[in-house]
Structure 1
Amino acid sequence: MELYGLAGQLRRAAVSVASNIAEGKGRRTDKEFLLFLHHARGSDFEVETQLTIARRLGYIPETEVLRLRNSAGEIARMLNDLIKATTSIAGRQTA
């Protein structure tokens, strides 16, 4: 049962990354978009943490965890870049 609970949490966190980006983009202002980008980044970190837990519990081979964590890290870098760019745009709009 523990495995299925963790798998469900991992799935929800992964879906939350894309969902938060989409929901934020649908908001009226860049400041609102930024809030959702930060939520997406938090969900991405949650995915990384859950992968580590799954590995420690022996549910996922280390090679697979490394591959997936590399992907999550790349997503985090892209989100950070998008946050920086959006912050810059939002700053110019209020200046």
Structure 2
Amino acid sequence: MHRFKELEIWKRSRCFCSNIYDLTSKFPESEKFGLTNQLRRASVSIPSNIAEGSSRKSNKDFCRFLEITLGSAYEIETQLLISFDLNFITELELIESSKELSEMIIEYP
């Protein structure tokens, strides 16, 4: 069992989630139930699945939750690229952050 609040990956994903909320607050109102909602749900999913997986007794179970987390990270990266294509965002900073988060998830023991 892992103590999720001590995991660097959980701390980083929690901060990333806050950044997604800040970013999407500037999206057009017409995207409230589109990309805004999708990005927010997927970003909340990352630290949530890390926390839930950390409660499992085996590393195999924890790794399964990390796989789900990785899917959410890839989903966010795709949605951020689409947001960039639609000119909702102009910077690629969060896209790089999502890539770094994905790499942390992949490399996690």
TM-score range, shorter chain: 0.7 to 0.9
Query: Match for 2:100 among 74, 90, 95?
Result: 74
- Does 2:81 match 1:52? yes
- Does 2:59 match 1:27? no
| Aligned counterpart, 1:14 | 43
- Does 2:31 match 1:3? yes
Taking structure 1 as the reference length, the TM-score comes to: 0.78
| Aligned counterpart, 1:91 | none
* In 2, Cα distance between equivalents of 1:2 and 1:58: 14
* In 1, Cα distance between equivalents of 2:38 and 2:53: 22
The residue type equivalent to 2:36 in the other structure is A
Higher helix share: 1
Query: Match for 2:71 among 25, 42, 45?
Result: 42
Give aligned pairs, total: 80
| Aligned counterpart, 1:90 | none
Q: Note the alpha carbon deviations across 1:18-60, whole angstroms, 9 max, x for none.
A: 1111110011211110100000011000000000111112211
Q: Which runs of 4+ in 1 moved over 6 A?
A: none
Q: Percent identity?
A: 44
Taking structure 2 as the reference length, the TM-score comes to: 0.69
Q: CA RMSD in A?
A: 1.2
